Amino acid sequence: MSAKLWAIVRREYLERVRSKAFVIGTILGPLLMAGMLVVPALAARSKGKPLRLAVLDATGELGETVEAALREARFDGLARFEVQPAASSALASEAELKQAVLEKRLDGYLALPEDVIASGNASYYGRNVTNHIDLRTLERTVSAVLVARRLASAGIDPTKVKNLTREVDMKTIRVSETGEREDRGAAMFLALILLMILYICILIWGQAILTSVIEEKTSRVVEVMAASVPTTTLLLGKLVGVGGAGLTQFLAWSLSLFAVSIASAGASGAFTMPEITPLMLVSFVAFFLLGFFFYASLYAAIGASVNTVQEAQGLVFPVMLPIVLAMVCWPAVLQSPDGPLAVTISLIPGMSPLIMFLRIVVLTPPMWQIALSILLLVLGILAVVWIAARVYRVGILMYGKRPTFPEIVRWVRHG
Amino acid sequence: MNDKALVLKGIRKAFAGHVAVNDLSLEVPRHSVFGLLGPNGAGKTTTLRMVMNILGPDKGTIEILGQPADHAARDRIGYMPEERGLYPRMVLEDQLVFMAAIKGVPRAEAKRRLGPWLERFSLSDWRRRKTNELSKGMAQKAQFIATVLHQPELLMVDEPLSGLDPVAMDVMREVLLDLRRAGATIVLSSHQMETVEKLCDRVALINRGEKVLDGTVSEVKARHGRNTIALAFDGDGGFIASLPGVAKVTDFGQYLEVRLEDGYDPQPLLREAAARLRLRRFEIVEPSLHDIFVETVTAHGKEAA
């Protein structure tokens, strides 16, 4: 009995692991992830060319100060503005400036009305107004000039004010049972990356069960299998074998991710590696496996009741809803990891693999909640496997018309 | 030790809407070749599936090799279903070793047994090739090896000869008979009546889920009487159909098979035919299984309707 189960596990595992898709996916996965991390960082760093702009000054006295301030303005240590002298006769009137913008000699211009010091109203005219980082810098620079001017006219020393109103620079330090460490968002970043891996792996490998069951039906090999081993053994062997292949890839991805982040944290010093506790590691693997078994069983039931992958699509969505919802909920959970919403959904079987794991990463929840979450998830898995085994037993030998949902319910009740 | 390889007692199986198998009883003696016949949709596949414990009967009992049908019993059966199935992307050798492993044969042992079988079916060169590279006939032979590699005592094969070229067909027939000589019992299902007639000791005919005929091939033929006449002649034999006592004429052009009504003497027919035709042959023969099949199914269909 166990020898037969082992034979099936072995076959399923080897068939997956030996496929080209697996080898490519295992290598490409970390590269893609690294790409997802590195490319936005690089993209954010390259701010593009500085804005070419001119200042249209109706006050007749602020212009030069603003221009000087704009030339000095920096973002991430880079000058952001290339100021064209407004005095040059070609750019004297608003109409000419507009023309210059349209002809792309300028990116935009800043209009300062006569009462700008009192009203604080200024306008920017530009072809592109979605470059909000530059626009914020522009706004802040002009504000600083105006404030300095107002302070001076009220007889107050601007540098003194600047010193007196300096804002606080707050460090965030995470306190946990194992000590304290400074964290500038790396913990959240890590949590999201791990969450993403968990989510993607559960979906990919659940889908692998679906295609595998459908393929057995299409190639008709399932009848020979069903004549040799009980269908529950067949289902279990498939879940364990494919799950094992999934775990292999999951571990390969995770380990290479950890290796890359530790290496780059050490090399660049750009961020400190957030603390990774044994509890986090254990629950990462545990919630992958539990989540996989939960969703893979559902996928197996779907695969057994349809004839083609296309037919399966309509049934897949409702089944996937909990995990998709969980994925949508992560910002709320990060905001308040001990809040009622986070606690509730971290106990719901379909959502707990993602949500409870996320809570464990950001803030160790009470042990009883972790235990309850896992207990409910295991009960959920048992229920789902029980249902799936019944649907599977009837479905794998059914060809032709796709069964309706009431028919599938009947299989479960009478199976 | 029971002398029956397979015993079905009052088996019934109904699906939503229709009864697939109704009160079916069969006994397959050990070391026999048993033909399970019936038109499409008669309930053969359902019956085989119940023996393989893929489906559970609603009523009745199944006994395999002297023990009740359960998961242990079916390790002793080799089953080749009507719908062939192999894993398309698996290497042939791995595939066959796997099929034996799920029947409880250790991998090393299965590998050892595999060589001679591949040799016999001329598949040795394909040992390391993937299943989806095999031709239909090769896949059929591979499927058969998968069915027998665990040395089953009872073999249940559906259309074992279909899709094979004449050479492979001869090999397959020899193999089946060798297996029987070695002590196996073979239940085969086929629509090729000539094959059945040549291979089987016993047959059972199923129609609409019920057994309508059962016995050794000679018993079945004897029961249908020696009232079939083979006629070969020159001339126009059209009048024969209208002669008294003629139940049915199967016309092959220059050759006729005439079925007489029960108890009707063939002598008047001989006299009439000799008077009007130039006879080359007039022989009282056994009815073919083909005719028995067609007649029985047609008669049972009318009766049931």
DSSP symbols for B112-173: HHHHHHHHHTT-GGGTTSBGGGS-HHHHHHHHHHHHHTT--SEEEEESTTTT--HHHHHHHH
Do the chains contact at B52 and A19, CB–CB below 8 Å? no
Do the chains contact at B74 and A222, CB–CB below 8 Å? no
Do the chains contact at A220 and B84, CB–CB below 8 Å? yes
Q: How many CB pairs under 8 A join A and B?
A: 66
Could you tell me if A113 and A206 lie in one domain? no
pLDDT of residue A37: 66
Q: How confident is the model at residue A53 (pLDDT cuts 50, 70, 90)?
A: confident
Do the chains contact at A15 and B90, CB–CB below 8 Å? yes
Could you tell me if A260 and A121 lie in one domain? no
Could you tell me if A116 and A66 lie in one domain? yes
Shortest alpha-carbon distance between residue A206 and chain B (Å) = 20
**Residues of chain B with C-beta less than 8 angstroms from the C-beta of A222:** 85
For the ranges A6-15, A332-341, A404-413, B163-172, which has the lowest average pLDDT?
A: A404-413
Could you tell me if A150 and A251 lie in one domain? no
Query: pLDDT (tens digit, 9 = 90+) per residue, B88-120?
Result: 889 999 999 999 999 999 999 999 999 999 999
For position A99, which CATH number holds? 3.40.190.10
Show which of A137, A164, A191 is a domain's final residue: A164
Nearest CA to A287 out of A243, A242, A239, A353 is that of A353
Could you tell me if A214 and A348 lie in one domain? yes
pLDDT at A100 over 60: yes
Could you tell me if A403 and A297 lie in one domain? yes
Do the chains contact at A229 and B146, CB–CB below 8 Å? no
For the ranges A80-94, A156-170, A328-342, which has the lowest average pLDDT?
A: A80-94
Could you tell me if A95 and A141 lie in one domain? yes
Query: pLDDT (tens digit, 9 = 90+) per residue, B137-190?
Result: 999 999 999 999 999 999 999 988 888 899 999 999 999 999 999 999 999 998
Domain that holds residue A56: 51-164
Could you tell me if A120 and A219 lie in one domain? no
CATH classification code of B4-221: 3.40.50.300
* Total count of domains within chain A: 2
User: For A226, which residue in chain B has the nearest alpha carbon?
Assistant: B54
Alpha helices in A154-185 (DSSP H): 158-164
- Higher per-residue pLDDT: A92 or A20: A20
Among all chains, which residue has been given the structure tokens 């030790």?
A: B1
Query: pLDDT (tens digit, 9 = 90+) per residue, A110-141?
Result: 888 888 888 888 889 888 888 887 888 888 88
Alpha carbons within 13 angstroms on the beta-carbon side of residue B2 total 13
State whether residue B88 sits within 8 Å of chain A by CB: yes
**Residues of chain B with C-beta less than 8 angstroms from the C-beta of A224:** 79, 81, 85, 99, 146
User: For B46, which residue in chain A has the nearest alpha carbon?
Assistant: A397
Tokens (6 digits) for A30: 């970390």
Q: How confident is the model at residue A266 (pLDDT cuts 50, 70, 90)?
A: low
Q: How far apart are CA A342 and CA A332, in angstroms?
A: 7
Find the radius of gyration of the CA atoms of chain B.
23
State whether residue B91 sits within 8 Å of chain A by CB: no
pLDDT of residue A260: 75
State whether residue B52 sits within 8 Å of chain A by CB: yes
State whether residue B89 sits within 8 Å of chain A by CB: yes
Q: Write out the residues of chain A at the interface with chain B, using a CB-CB cutoff of 8 A.
A: 3-4, 7-8, 11, 15, 19, 215-216, 219-230, 397
Beta bridge partners of B128: none
Cβ burial of A7 (10 Å; 0-12, 13-18, 19+) is buried
pLDDT at A288 over 90: yes
pLDDT at A249 over 80: yes
The 3-state DSSP class for residue B77 equals strand
pLDDT of residue A45: 59
pLDDT at A309 over 90: no
pLDDT at A87 over 80: no
Q: How confident is the model at residue B228 (pLDDT cuts 50, 70, 90)?
A: confident
pLDDT at A397 over 80: no
Shortest alpha-carbon distance between residue A220 and chain B (Å) = 4
Show which of A138, A164, A190 is a domain's final residue: A164
pLDDT at A42 over 90: no
pLDDT at A271 over 70: no
**Residues of chain B with C-beta less than 8 angstroms from the C-beta of A236:** none
- Higher per-residue pLDDT: A91 or A148: A148
State whether residue B102 sits within 8 Å of chain A by CB: yes
Alpha carbons within 13 angstroms on the beta-carbon side of residue B89 total 12
Name residue B273's amino acid: A
pLDDT of residue B185: 95
Maximum alpha-carbon separation in chain B: 73
Cβ burial of B108 (10 Å; 0-12, 13-18, 19+) is exposed
Q: How confident is the model at residue A177 (pLDDT cuts 50, 70, 90)?
A: low
**Between A231-268 and A2-17, two packed helices, what is the crossing angle to 10 degrees?**
40
Which of B102, B105, B134 to substitute to test the interface with A, most A CBs within 10 Å? B102
Name residue A153's amino acid: S
State whether residue B64 sits within 8 Å of chain A by CB: no
**Residues of chain B with C-beta less than 8 angstroms from the C-beta of A216:** 85, 87
Q: Is residue A33 part of a domain?
A: no
Do the chains contact at B89 and A19, CB–CB below 8 Å? yes
Q: Do residues B223 and B194 touch, judged by C-beta distance below 8 A?
A: no
Q: Is residue A93 part of a domain?
A: yes
Q: How far apart are CA A243 and CA A96, in angstroms?
A: 68
Average pLDDT over residues B113-142: 93
Say whether pTM exceeds 0.80: no
Q: Is residue A173 part of a domain?
A: no
Which residues neighbour B234 within 8 Å (Cβ) at sequence distance 6 or greater?
B254, B277, B278, B280
pLDDT at B1 over 60: no
CA distances from B36 to B152, B186, B187, B287 (A): 19, 10, 7, 19
pLDDT of residue A183: 65
Domain assignments of chain B as residue spans, ordered by start:
4-221, 226-285
Could you tell me if A141 and A200 lie in one domain? no
pLDDT at A1 over 60: no
Could you tell me if A112 and A186 lie in one domain? no
Q: Is residue A34 part of a domain?
A: no
pLDDT of residue A160: 84
Which residues neighbour B35 within 8 Å (Cβ) at sequence distance 6 or greater?
B188, B189, B190, B196, B199, B200, B202, B203, B204, B217
- Higher per-residue pLDDT: A226 or A269: A226
Which residues neighbour A85 within 8 Å (Cβ) at sequence distance 6 or greater?
A54, A67, A91
Report DSSP letters for B203-243, one per residue.
EEEEETTEEEEEEEHHHHHHHT-S-EEEEEEES--GGGGGS
Tokens (6 digits) for A36: 């997802």
User: For B102, which residue in chain A has the nearest alpha carbon?
Assistant: A4
pLDDT of residue A395: 83
**Residues of chain A with C-beta less than 8 angstroms from the C-beta of B71:** 229-230
Alpha helices in A336-397 (DSSP H): 340-345, 352-362, 367-395
CA distances from A175 to A180, A218, A334, A362, A364 (A): 5, 56, 16, 11, 11
Q: How confident is the model at residue B6 (pLDDT cuts 50, 70, 90)?
A: very high
Shortest alpha-carbon distance between residue A244 and chain B (Å) = 18
pLDDT of residue A163: 84
User: For A221, which residue in chain B has the nearest alpha carbon?
Assistant: B85
pLDDT of residue A209: 93
pLDDT of residue B171: 93
Could you tell me if A189 and A283 lie in one domain? yes
Average pLDDT, chain A: 84
Alpha carbons within 13 angstroms on the beta-carbon side of residue B224 total 24
- Higher per-residue pLDDT: B254 or A147: A147
Average pLDDT over residues A360-389: 90
Q: How confident is the model at residue A403 (pLDDT cuts 50, 70, 90)?
A: confident
Could you tell me if A125 and A186 lie in one domain? no
Shortest alpha-carbon distance between residue A407 and chain B (Å) = 11
Which of A14, A15, A228 to substitute to test the interface with B, most B CBs within 10 Å? A228
Domain B226-285 has CATH 3.20.20: no
Q: Do residues B127 and B118 touch, judged by C-beta distance below 8 A?
A: yes
